[in-house]
Amino acid sequence: MLTKEELDFLDYWEKNSLQQKHSTRPFMIGLSAGFVLGISLIAVVFSGWYERANMVANSRLSSFVFLLAILGISFFMAFMYRKFRWETNEQRYRELLARKKTLEKKEV
């Protein structure tokens, strides 16, 4: 027998799976995670803890290219996080649906 939480999830996902596929909330969470990664990368580069890497970055790396790369990484992480969350929920939904069907067959 499925728990109430699992049955609630089945009902919720059946109604909202397409909305969640294009939702902005997981996208924004992934985007913020990407920006945190980018800001930490900027902090590491400009902290100067590794002098040689700092000198190479300052001589060869354009600030515009660096910021563009961080922006690209952020949007990539946002897209992948949203897709990962949707796929995880879809997998859970299919597993619960299969388990529900097998339980119904056993009861009959």
* pLDDT tens-place values along the chain, 108 residues long: 889 999 999 999 999 999 988 888 888 998 998 899 888 888 887 787 778 877 777 787 777 888 898 899 899 999 999 999 999 999 999 999 999 999 988 887
Under a CB-based contact definition with an 8 Å cutoff, are residues 26 and 86 in contact?
yes
What are 29's two structure tokens?
A: 């969470």
Q: Please tell me the pTM assigned to this model.
A: 0.77
**Three-state SS for 101?**
helix
DSSP 2: -
CA distance 23 to 17: 10
